[in-house]
């Protein structure tokens, strides 16, 4: 992985916030994404390159897009916890049942069909469900499209990059760590990300 792409791969091209917010943001990012694990993932990464990437990320404001309140298409929670009633992994629940009309697991439904423009299973879809952390943070589109900038499958985007603090793919971040209560990869969590259909947008 070329070092010149480090900042772009980690956090994308984002605008800068006010300088007063930058110090706290840098400290939080350093806490979530320590230098040692990054150096193991990117051989040859220097401390100077790491610090530059952290500064680049600190310039990116948190996405404050409001969580939809009156969405007719709430699609449950993204989680590996099969016992949570509104889990997408609960085969007997409303949102994980492969026969439920709005289930991500229904191969004939709007959100499960691999040919639907609203399905995460369609690698060309652009209007897929949106993810929000239980704390209200926007986490991108639940999508299999690696070219959509907001896709969780885009390894170069803010929401699919394994080093971005807003990515469910970051195993060191609060939204991807398997021990975090806000992470879909924690099999015991009761507060994983919420999934909303595309209608409100």
Mean pLDDT (the chain, rounded): 80
Q: What is the pLDDT of residues 154-192, one digit of tens each?
A: 999 999 999 999 999 999 999 999 999 999 999 999 999
The pLDDT score that the predictor gives to residue 58 is 65
Q: What is the Cα–Cα distance from 8 to 159, expressed in whole angstroms? A: 12
**What confidence tier does 26 reach under pLDDT thresholds 50, 70, 90?**
confident
For the segment 78-94, the average pLDDT, to the nearest whole number, is 93
Residues 103 and 96: beta-carbon distance below 8 Å: yes
Instruction: Give the pLDDT of residue 176.
Output: 93
**How much is the pLDDT for 38?**
73
pLDDT at 47: 86
Q: Is 51 helix (H, G, I), strand (E, B) or coil?
A: helix
Tell me the three state secondary structure of residue 87. Answer: strand
Q: Edge-to-edge, what's the strand order for the sheet holding 74-77?
A: 74-77, 194-196, 130-132, 138-141
Burial class (CB in 10 A: 0-12, 13-18, 19+), 95: buried
**Percent of the chain residues past pLDDT 70, beyond the cut:** 77
């Amino acid at each position: 992985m070329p070092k010149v792409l480090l900042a772009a791969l980690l956090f994308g091209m984002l605008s800068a916030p006010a300088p007063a917010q930058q110090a706290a943001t840098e400290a939080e990012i350093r806490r979530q994404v320590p230098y040692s694990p990054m150096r193991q993932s990117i051989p040859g990464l220097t401390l100077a390159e790491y610090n530059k990437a952290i500064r680049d990320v600190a310039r990116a404001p948190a996405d404050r897009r409001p969580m939809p309140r009156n969405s007719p298409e709430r699609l449950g929670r993204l989680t590996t916890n099969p016992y949570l009633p509104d889990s997408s992994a609960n085969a007997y629940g409303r949102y994980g049942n492969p026969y439920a009309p709005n289930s991500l697991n229904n191969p004939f439904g709007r959100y499960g069909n691999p040919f639907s423009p609203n399905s995460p299973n369609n690698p060309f879809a652009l209007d897929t469900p949106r993810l929000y952390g239980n704390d209200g943070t926007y986490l991108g589109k639940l999508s299999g499209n690696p070219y959509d900038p907001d896709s969780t499958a885009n390894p170069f985007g803010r929401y699919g990059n394994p080093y971005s603090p807003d990515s469910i793919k970051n195993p060191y971040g609060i939204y991807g760590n398997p021990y975090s209560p806000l992470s879909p990869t924690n099999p015991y969590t009761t507060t994983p990300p919420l999934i909303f259909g595309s209608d409100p947008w």
